[in-house]
């Protein structure tokens, strides 16, 4: 056991440790006292300490640098000057007679003057004690300051964590996406959850330049990739959503719609049901081409006349149609319907939303490349699917069959766009954040700006993975809503390197420092362990 | 007479139909909407076949144009009913005759020419005769295995007819390493490539390994023939597991001749070409016939004209199909029977296929008191070619009227109801009768309704349920 320091003073939450000469303690480093029980502590600040008074130190320094004290040195320098680490105890671990660990939040101080050592993986065995590996959610490996305890994988309970939502925050480029990739990779062969990734940067599936989920040995069975691009890799499905799957309430909190417009929308839906959007465009396209020839229509579509007969003000329809047109990327030009995006009124994409739901329900991971979509369209696609999942799972719940279903989680990059404070209606994501856990549906929100997410939603995201962030205001927003008191960790968060994070969760006893390896390295590791392909045969051989 | 199964609330004909074919078709939505469920005045809906209004005729073939016919899913040999089986063959013959009349240079049959790989020889003979007719006229035929006439060891009627030189078989190819290289056939310099189907969408992995680059390098115009549903166009009646995404298809073919989906569809797919599913020529099950009543089935005549593709859908001539829907809800069995008799007596069914659908819950009396067979006889006497009965969900309120004592627990009530039904039944195997039978039914349903546990993989779940069912069966066996 290597000693690196000793407790010299302090109080609960602020223990002072004198660093042993020759050792270097770092901010974020984990230290331990004792063998069984063990007190685990974390360094959160470092200062100098000296036996000499400030005046004497300054005098000595002056003599040094002004060249008057050549040959002068401190007597027993290691004894006189040293580093004081401010630490706080984070966990108190006891191994009882039958080999089970009991970990608790420390309520007492470690023995005064105890010798302090660096932690080893063995100190954290309690983290994996009694855990169900089938249900694990991988986050990375344990970290102590900047050193990585590679053999100590950090996982949390997947179903719990996913349904209680996860927030991943950091300033740009600190490895948020990398972490989510690593997480998804390790989830690919786990059946307990279906994951929907709305991927605005098209970075999760992978391509010839960068690896992604498609490189996983189980990708064929367990990954479904939708992309609107005709040049998307083989096996991907063209993202195309028939407007029959779009319902008026999917626009809630997605597109800003006035009460009058909303009422008009529901009237149209009542009349035409699944064809409501197609009719909006078709009928007015017809009316447009008839406008000059037929005076009776006065250029108005049947829908407009119908709406007006129901007391909807003139002009409401036009405004509503414009909004829907922009959201769906469906336009009308010279009596023709032009579809520029993924939404279509034609005969394709009818089963898409159902297929995605079915895939999620069978524990698959569905990645949707939304990089070419307008942000409205992207959120709308998400909203359609999220609504479907919600409706289906609510049905299961009332039928009492929800228990057998996998958890469904939705990954949202730039989460404040959909979770951000809006004065209007709460959209389906907001609903999931608030009550999704009752239906086994969760969110994985990724953001640079947690402060833009309403406090109530932030408080509902019960696992926070905090990567490097130099913005004080952002750190404050996260720390205020964290599951543990992280008030002393702010500085440390500011200095986290790429891939380094702090996991604060209601499912962990303390905020666990982790490092998530570079995704490419994880892929290489898995690839190396892969086996050979079977020999294939085709029936239609020649005669 | 003891009933077949005490739990059988629906008709058995329906179940048999389900076994018959794999591609299933929901009744067209249009159809559903058109049927006003509430209208008391309309006790039944009768929709007429649309053959009365034929689509635009095919224009005469121009000089320098190559014209071909694209058929799929003829399912020759389908239907147990002799008349329907014959009508199906006739529809195929009609399609071939029309292809000849329209001047087709060649014909593509994109899978499921036959309903099974070893059909009734009379059916095979009829088809062979027609094909010989084509051969004599110098019209080449290209046939692809479908999911129904596929054979893993090339023991299909398709191979017999091919061996007789009656057509070219598409779908040749082999794996070179991990790549599936398909061997093109050709017609006057137009490459025709086929990727054959296997049962239940197993061909998907062939698509995944397809050497698309080699196919894309072939000169255009070229034709890709396949027998699979496409994920992006998946109709609601197919499961997505059985679909192939567009991205696995080779790009840049002028024409993608599809089969398998019994629904007509044309899509111009950017980056690819024209995808066409002609639908069936007659159909292979009752749902197909119901859709035929909405829209006449048929095939495509396709013109390749200086690289451009022109499509003409040609309906086949089939008898008029009459759909008659009757709701039993709230009516007594005798009252309902009278209503049906009245309709049957007054109807004009001459030369028609009549699809009689009855559904709903009788207020009194039993379904068999309606004597649907007699109604059917009347319809046939009145000149119908066939009368297809679909008892759908005709049930009786009486049958469900079990005395339920609400003070009892759910389990107790379940036991009593099962016991009551079992006591009314008699099975050959005595282990299924009486108290023993009831106990067995209860334990079996208990074993089978277990849910997957949260900490369980599908595999362990299956093994657990299977094991439990085994135990139940073994112990029942042991008591004998
Ligand atoms: N764990 C890591 N180890 C080493 N390098 C990393 C690690 N994680 C990320 N990086 C590097 O940092 C780059 C940015 O990472 P990533 O895209 O995950 O950041 P981000 O937080 O998602 O950024 P943005 O906010 O722009 O989306 C990556 O390209 C990668 O090279
Ligand atoms: Mg990112
Ligand atoms: Mn078929």
Q: Say how many CA atoms lie within 13 Å of B346 toward its Cβ.
A: 6
Same domain, A367 and A465: yes
Considering only CB atoms, which chain B residues are within 8 Å of A238? 232, 245-247
Contact status of A538 with chain B (Cβ, < 8 Å): yes
Q: A349: Cβ below 6 Å to ligand 1?
A: no
The pLDDT-based confidence of B215 (bands split at 50, 70, 90) is very high
CA atoms within 13 A on the CB side of B7: 8
Residue B24 has pLDDT above 50, yes or no: no
Give the start-end residues of each E strand in B366-417: 386-390, 394-396
Q: Which parts of chain A sit beneath pLDDT 50? A: 291-295, 543
- CA A178-A181-A185 angle, to 5 degrees, is 145
A234 and A369 fall within a common domain: yes
Statement to judge: residues A18 and A117 lie in one domain: yes
Task: State CA B158 to chain mean position distance.
Answer: 20
pLDDT of residue B406: 63
Provide, as residue numbers in chain B, all residues whose Cβ is less than 8 Å from the Cβ of A237: 231-232, 245-247
Shared domain for A87 and A189, answered yes or no, is: no
Range in A31-40, A258-267, B291-300, B402-411 with the lowest mean pLDDT: B402-411
**DSSP readout, A454-520?**
-HHHHHH--EEEEE----HHHHHHHHHT-SS--GGGHHHHHTPPTTEEEEEETTSSS-EEEEPPPHH
Q: Which of A240, A273, A347, A539 to mutate to test the interface with B (most CBs of B within 10 A)?
A: A539
Query: Which chain B residues touch A233 with a CB distance below 8 Å?
Result: 247
Does the CB of B145 have a partner CB in chain A at under 8 Å? Answer: yes
Look at B232 and A240 and tell me if their CB atoms are within 8 Å: yes
- How much is the average pLDDT of B388-412? 70
Residue B54 confidence (pLDDT): 62
- Does residue A520 share a domain with residue A416? yes
pLDDT of amino acid B235:
77
A177 lines ligand 1 (CB under 6 A): yes
pLDDT given for residue A532 in this prediction? 61
Q: Please tell me the pTM assigned to this model.
A: 0.81
Reported ipTM: the value is 0.80
Beta bridge partners of B87: none
Distance in angstroms between the alpha carbons of the first and the last residue of chain B: 25
What is d(CA A8, CA A73) in angstroms, rounded to the nearest whole number? 26
Can you give the CATH number for the domain in which A201 is found?
Answer: 3.40.50.300
Question: Is A384 found in the same domain as A256?
Answer: no
pLDDT score recorded for residue B41: 32
- pLDDT value of position B85: 96
| Residue B43 pLDDT exceeds 60 | no
For chain B, domain boundaries: 57-315, 321-404, 411-478
CA of B333 relative to ligand 2 center, distance in Å: 67
Tell me whether strands A101-104 and A81-95 are parallel, antiparallel or unpaired: antiparallel
Distance of CA A199 to the CA centre of its chain: 12
Q: Domain limits at A269?
A: 245-344
> What are the C-alpha distances in Å from A293 to residues A286, A301, B122?
11, 14, 61
Q: Which of residues 401-460 of B touch A (CB under 8 A)?
A: 451-455, 457-458
Same domain, A221 and A254: no
**A461 and A376 in a common domain:** yes
CB B311 within 8 A of CB B275: no
Residues A300 and A339 in one domain: yes
* A363 CA to centre of ligand 1 in angstroms: 27
Residue B28 has pLDDT above 50, yes or no: no
Same domain, A182 and A250: no
Tokens of A339: 């579809």
Helix (H, G, I), strand (E, B) or coil at B379: helix
In this model, does residue B400 exceed pLDDT 60?
A: no
CA A55 distance to own-chain centroid: 52
Architecture of domain B57-315: 4-Layer Sandwich (3.60)
Diameter of chain B measured on Cα atoms: 84
Q: How many domains is chain A built from? A: 3
- What is the position in ligand 1's atom list of the atom closest to the CA of A448? 25
Q: Is B68 helix (H, G, I), strand (E, B) or coil?
A: strand
Answer whether residue A223 is part of any domain. yes
β pairing state of A407-412 and B386-390 = unpaired
Residue B33 and residue B410 in contact, taking contact as beta carbons nearer than 8 Å: no
| Domain shared by A265 and A199, yes or no | no
pLDDT category of residue B241 using cuts at 50, 70 and 90: low
DSSP per residue, A264-281: HHHHHHHHHGGGHHHHHH
Q: By the CB < 8 Å criterion, does B184 face chain A?
A: no
Residue of B nearest to A160 (CA): B454
Q: Which residues of B are annotated as catalytic?
A: 148
The number of the ligand nearest the C-alpha atom of A168 reads: 1
A134 min Cα distance to partner chain B (Å): 7
Q: Is A447 in the pocket of ligand 1 (CB under 6 A)?
A: no
* Inter-chain touch A538–B150, beta carbons under 8 Å: no
Using CA atoms, how far apart are residues B181 and B200, in angstroms rounded to an integer? 22
Residue A523 lies in a domain: yes
- What pLDDT does B468 receive? 86
Which carries the bigger pLDDT value, residue A105 or residue B402? A105
Residue A38 three-state SS: strand
CB contact under 8 A, B231 and A354: no
The whole-number pLDDT of residue B138 equals 96
* Helix axes B82-101 and B121-136, enclosed angle (nearest 10): 10
Distance A541 CA to ligand 3 centre (A): 21
Torsion, Cα of A521, A522, A528, A532 (10° steps): -130
In this structure, the strands spanning B308-315 and B298-305 are antiparallel
Q: What is the pLDDT of residue A102?
A: 87
Cα dihedral angle (A70, A71, A75, A78), rounded to 10 degrees?
A: 90
Residue B303 has pLDDT above 90, yes or no: yes
Query: What mean pLDDT comes out for the span B285-296?
Result: 91
Residues A223 and A251 in one domain: no
Name the CA dihedral angle for A245, A249, A250, A255, rounded to a multiple of 10 degrees.
130
Element housing B208 (H / E): helix B204-208
Note the helical H segments in B273-409. Answer: 286-294, 333-346, 372-381, 397-400
Is the predicted pLDDT of residue B44 greater than 60, yes or no?
Answer: no
Verify whether ligand 1 is closer than 6 Å to residue A475 (CB atom): no
**CA-based nearest distance B224→chain A, Å:** 15
Q: What is the predicted pLDDT for the residue at B35?
A: 34
Q: Is the pLDDT of residue B425 over 50?
A: yes
Check residue A534 and give its pLDDT.
65
Is A240 an 8 Å CB contact of chain B?
yes
- What does the buried/exposed string (b/e) look like for A258-294 if buried means 16 or more CB atoms within 10 Å of the residue's CB? eebbbbbbebbbeebebbbbbbbbbbbbebbebeeee
């Amino acid at each position: 056991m290597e000693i690196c320091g000793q407790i010299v003073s302090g109080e609960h939450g602020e223990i002072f440790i004198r660093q042993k000469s020759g050792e270097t303690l770092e901010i974020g480093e984990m230290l331990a006292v004792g063998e069984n029980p063990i007190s685990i502590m974390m360094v959160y600040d470092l200062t100098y300490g000296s036996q000499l008074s400030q005046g004497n130190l300054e005098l000595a320094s002056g003599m040094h640098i002004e060249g008057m004290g050549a040959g002068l040195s401190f007597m027993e320098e290691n004894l006189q000057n040293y580093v004081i680490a401010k630490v706080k105890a984070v966990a108190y671990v006891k191994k009882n007679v039958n080999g089970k660990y009991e970990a608790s939040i420390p309520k007492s101080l470690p023995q005064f003057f105890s010798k302090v050592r660096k932690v080893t993986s063995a100190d954290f065995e309690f983290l994996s004690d009694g855990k169900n590996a089938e249900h694990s959610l991988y986050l990375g490996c344990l970290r102590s300051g900047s050193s990585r305890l590679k053999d100590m994988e950090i996982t949390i309970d997947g179903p719990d964590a996913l349904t209680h939502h996860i927030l991943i925050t950091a300033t740009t480029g600190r490895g948020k996406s990398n972490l989510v990739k690593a997480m998804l990779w390790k989830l690919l062969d786990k059946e307990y959850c279906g994951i929907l990734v709305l991927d605005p940067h098209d970075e999760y599936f992978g391509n010839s330049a960068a690896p992604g989920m498609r490189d996983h040995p189980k990708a064929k069975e367990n990954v479904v990739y939708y992309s609107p691009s005709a040049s998307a890799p083989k096996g991907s499905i063209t993202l195309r959503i028939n407007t029959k799957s779009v319902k008026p309430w999917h626009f809630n909190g997605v597109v800003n719609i006035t009460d009058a417009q909303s009422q008009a929308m529901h009237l149209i839906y009542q009349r035409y049901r699944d064809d409501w959007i197609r009719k909006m465009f078709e009928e007015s396209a017809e009316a447009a081409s008839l406008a000059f020839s037929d005076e009776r229509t006065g250029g108005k579509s049947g829908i407009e006349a119908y709406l007006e007969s129901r007391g909807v003000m003139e002009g409401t329809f036009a405004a509503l149609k414009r909004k829907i047109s922009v959201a769906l990327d469906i336009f009308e030009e010279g009596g023709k319907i032009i579809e520029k995006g993924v939404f279509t009124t034609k005969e394709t994409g009818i089963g898409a939303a159902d297929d995605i739901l079915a895939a999620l329900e069978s524990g698959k991971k569905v990645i949707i490349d939304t990089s070419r979509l307008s942000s409205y369209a992207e959120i709308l696609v998400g909203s359609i699917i999220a609504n479907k999942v919600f409706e289906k799972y609510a049905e299961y719940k009332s039928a009492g069959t929800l228990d057998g279903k996998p958890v469904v989680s939705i990954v949202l990059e730039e989460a404040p766009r959909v979770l951000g404070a809006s004065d209007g209606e709460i959209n389906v994501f907001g609903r999931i954040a608030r009550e999704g856990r009752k239906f086994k549906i969760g969110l994985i929100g990724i953001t640079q700006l947690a402060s833009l997410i309403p406090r109530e939603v932030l408080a509902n995201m019960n696992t926070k993975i905090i990567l490097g962030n130099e913005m004080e205001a952002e750190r404050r927003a996260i720390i205020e809503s964290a599951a543990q008191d992280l008030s002393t960790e702010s500085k440390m968060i500011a200095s986290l390197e790429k891939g380094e994070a702090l996991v604060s969760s209601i499912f962990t006893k303390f905020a666990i420092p982790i490092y998530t390896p570079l995704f490419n390295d994880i892929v290489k590791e898995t690839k190396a362990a892969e086996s050979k392909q079977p020999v294939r045969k085709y029936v239609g051989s020649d005669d | 007479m003891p009933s077949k199964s005490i739990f059988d609330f629906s008709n058995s004909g329906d179940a048999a139909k389900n076994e018959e074919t794999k591609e299933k078709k929901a009744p067209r939505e249009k159809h559903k909407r058109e049927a006003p469920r509430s209208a008391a005045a309309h006790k039944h809906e009768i929709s007429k076949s649309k053959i009365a209004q034929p689509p635009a005729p095919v224009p005469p073939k121009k000089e320098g144009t190559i014209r071909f016919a694209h058929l799929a899913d003829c399912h020759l040999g389908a239907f147990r009913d002799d008349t329907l089986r014959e009508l199906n063959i006739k529809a195929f013959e009609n399609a071939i005759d029309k292809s000849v009349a329209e001047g087709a240079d060649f014909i593509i049959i994109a899978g499921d020419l036959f309903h099974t790989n070893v059909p009734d020889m009379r059916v095979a003979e009829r088809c062979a005769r027609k094909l010989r007719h084509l051969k004599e006229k110098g019209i080449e035929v290209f046939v692809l295995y479908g999911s129904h006439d596929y054979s893993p060891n090339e023991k299909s009627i398709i191979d017999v007819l091919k061996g007789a030189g009656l057509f070219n078989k598409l779908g040749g190819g082999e794996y070179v390493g991990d790549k599936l290289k398909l061997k093109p056939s050709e017609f006057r310099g137009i490459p025709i490539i086929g990727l054959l189907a296997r049962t239940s969408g197993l061909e998907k992995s062939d698509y995944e390994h397809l050497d698309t680059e080699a196919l894309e390098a072939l000169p255009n115009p070229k034709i890709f023939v396949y027998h699979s549903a496409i994920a992006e166009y998946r109709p609601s009646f197919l499961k997505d597991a059985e679909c192939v995404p567009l991205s696995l298809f080779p790009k840049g073919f002028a024409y993608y001749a599809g089969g398998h989906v019994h629904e007509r569809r044309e899509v111009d797919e950017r980056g690819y070409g024209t995808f066409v599913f002609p639908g069936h020529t007659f159909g292979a099950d009752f749902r197909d016939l119901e859709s035929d009543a909405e829209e006449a089935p048929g095939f495509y005549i396709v013109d390749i004209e200086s690289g451009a593709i022109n499509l003409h859908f040609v309906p086949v001539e089939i008898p008029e199909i009459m759909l008659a829907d009757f709701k039993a809800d709230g009516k007594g069995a005798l009252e309902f029977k009278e209503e049906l008799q009245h309709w049957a007596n007054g109807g004009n069914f001459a030369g028609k296929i009549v699809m009689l659908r009855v559904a709903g819950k009788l207020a009194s009396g039993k379904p068999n008191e309606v004597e649907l067979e007699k109604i059917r006889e009347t319809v046939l006497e009145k000149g119908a070619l066939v009368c297809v009965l679909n008892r759908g969900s005709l049930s009786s309120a009486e049958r469900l009227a079990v005395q339920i004592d609400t003070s009892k627990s759910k389990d107790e009530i379940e036991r009593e109801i099962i016991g009551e039904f079992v006591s009314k039944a008699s099975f050959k195997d005595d282990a299924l009768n009486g108290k023993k039978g009831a106990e067995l039914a209860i334990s079996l349903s208990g074993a089978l309704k277990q849910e997957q546990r949260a900490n369980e993989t599908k595999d362990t779940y299956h093994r657990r349920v299977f094991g439990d069912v085994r135990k139940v069966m073994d112990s029942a066996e042991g008591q004998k």
